[in-house]
């Protein structure tokens, strides 16, 4: 008997389906450094249109999308405002300091929505010994806060503040697709409040590789230059773009199911164990569930015990575990996952007392 592996460490673990592989193998391709790959062009055009912007650029990763945006919006020695728990601050190898040559000013927030007053205070006055503030970044959905959704109202006020201080807004929209599905908002509606957005195809959408940077014609032209600086000029990339197009067409409408799986898992484990949901808002807003194991149970022990029973979870901050639900996890697996989690948790809890 083979046990099914339930791997909820991340939504990046999704593997291309047979029909996605077929779409990839049949893709028309050309040399994208010459701008001649028809499939890359089709992906870029259709994503630009979905987000209501002039232009878009296919990039290998979300990190590259963010870093290109930062390079485009800033000058060396500037300062950018980011949220304290943001991906750009924690997981991008200090790249803003290396590539654009800027420093980050971090503002804490409750669930990704930095208080506007704190942003105003952080914006540097034009005095020669200060760095120049040149960009505000926002993350949608917010990863480390537990897939929380930055509201449309907040985006609108942030954008207004940006206009007041003449500061562009970049949205790290790695999981903006999830935000759109959960809030029932079209991509162009969120996007009207950001100057540039970086969106991932390789997470919940299920493409193997790829992100897209979206913005004005001018910003994207500059980003194309910076992509080449980083060695990111790709040739017959249409093979990969075809996966992205397929994902948008066939997988996007299914993202809400991942949110239902996350919510079901959260409700099952809180009914049956002493652990609590530690998503910043207290709710499961999209596909991420952060689990606080409490004082008496060591999260890495829970992780190890679950792993022996083929349930793979990742470590979160502090005493937390993190689970991310995705299209390769079926609704049927959720009860099994919750059973494995709760029985492991109970064994460890009893061992302590
Ligand atoms: C995954 C992710 C990215 C980009 O990651 P890559 O692995 O470079 O594609 C950026 N921001 C957030 C919030 C993410 O979760």
Give the pLDDT of residue 353.
Answer: 62
- Delimit the CATH 3.40.640.10 region(s) of the chain: 18-252
Give the pLDDT of residue 317.
Answer: 87
Give the pLDDT of residue 141.
Answer: 98
Average pLDDT over residues 235-264: 98
Percentage of residues in the chain with pLDDT exceeding 70? 99
Q: Which CATH class is domain 18-252?
A: alpha beta
Give the pLDDT of residue 352.
Answer: 74
For residue 92, the ligand 1 atom closest to its alpha carbon is: 8
Contact 56, 221 (CB under 8 A): no
Residue 323 CA to ligand 1 centre (angstroms)? 16
pLDDT in tens, 72-83: 999 999 999 999
Which token pair is 186? Answer: 């079209």
For residue 211, the ligand 1 atom closest to its alpha carbon is: 9
Helix 176-183 vs helix 255-272: crossing angle, to nearest 10:
80
* Whether residue 3 has pLDDT greater than 90: no
* Whether residue 162 has pLDDT greater than 90: yes
State pTM to two decimals.
Answer: 0.97
pLDDT in tens, 270-308: 998 999 999 999 999 999 999 999 999 999 999 999 999
Which token pair is 202? Answer: 């390789």
Average pLDDT over residues 295-324: 96
Instruction: Return left, alpha or beta for 95; rule: phi > 0 is left, psi -120 to 50 is alpha, else beta.
Output: alpha
Domain 6-13+254-352 belongs in CATH node 3.90.10.10: no
Cα distances (angstroms) measured from residue 88 to each of 122, 198, 217, 219, 291: 18, 12, 24, 19, 23
Helix 38-50 vs helix 238-250: crossing angle, to nearest 10:
40
Residue 314 CA to ligand 1 centre (angstroms)? 16
Q: Residues near ligand 1 with C-beta < 6 Å?
A: 61-63, 87, 139, 143, 172, 174, 200, 202, 211
pLDDT in tens, 36-68: 999 999 999 999 999 999 999 999 999 999 999
Q: What share of the chain is helix, strand, coil (3-state, %, to 5)?
A: 45, 15, 40
- Delimit the CATH 3.90.1150.10 region(s) of the chain: 6-13+254-352
Average pLDDT, the chain: 97
The phi and psi torsions of 199 (rounded to 5 degrees) equal -125, 140
Give the pLDDT of residue 140.
Answer: 98
Of 33, 38, 14, 67, nearest to 241 by C-alpha is 38
């Amino acid at each position: 008997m083979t046990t099914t592996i339930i791997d909820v460490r991340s939504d990046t673990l999704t593997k291309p389906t047979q029909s996605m592989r077929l779409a990839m193998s049949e893709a028309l391709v050309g040399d994208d450094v010459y701008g001649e790959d028809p499939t890359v062009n089709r992906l870029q055009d259709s994503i630009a249109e979905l987000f209501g912007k002039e232009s878009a650029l296919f990039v290998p990763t979300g990190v590259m999308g963010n870093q290109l945006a930062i390079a485009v919006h800033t000058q060396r020695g500037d300062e950018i405002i980011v949220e304290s728990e943001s991906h750009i601050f924690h997981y991008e190898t200090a790249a803003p300091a290396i590539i654009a040559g800027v420093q980050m000013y971090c503002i804490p927030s409750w669930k990704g929505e930095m208080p506007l007053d704190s942003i105003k205070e952080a914006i540097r006055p034009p005095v020669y010994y200060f760095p120049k503030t040149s960009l505000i970044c926002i993350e949608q959905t917010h990863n480390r806060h537990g897939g929380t959704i930055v509201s449309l109202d907040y985006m609108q006020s942030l954008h207004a503040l940006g206009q007041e201080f003449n500061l562009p807004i970049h949205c790290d929209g790695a999981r903006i697709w999830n935000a759109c599905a959960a809030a029932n908002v079209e991509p162009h509606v969120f996007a009207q409040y950001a100057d540039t957005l970086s969106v991932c195809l390789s997470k919940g959408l299920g493409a193997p590789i790829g992100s897209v940077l979206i913005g004005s014609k001018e910003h994207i032209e500059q980003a194309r230059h910076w992509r080449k600086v980083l060695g990111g000029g790709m040739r017959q990339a249409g093979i990969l773009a075809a996966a992205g197009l397929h994902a948008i067409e066939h997988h996007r409408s299914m993202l809400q199911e991942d949110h239902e799986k996350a919510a079901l898992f959260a409700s099952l484990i809180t009914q049956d164990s002493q652990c609590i949901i530690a998503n910043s808002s207290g709710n499961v807003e999209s596909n991420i569930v952060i689990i606080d194991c409490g004082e008496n149970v060591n999260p890495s022990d829970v992780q190890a015990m679950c792993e022996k029973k083929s349930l793979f979870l990742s470590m979160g901050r502090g005493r937390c575990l993190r689970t991310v639900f995705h299209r390769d996890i079926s609704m049927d697996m959720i009860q099994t996952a919750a059973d494995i989690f709760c029985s492991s948790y109970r064994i460890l809890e009893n061992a302590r007392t």
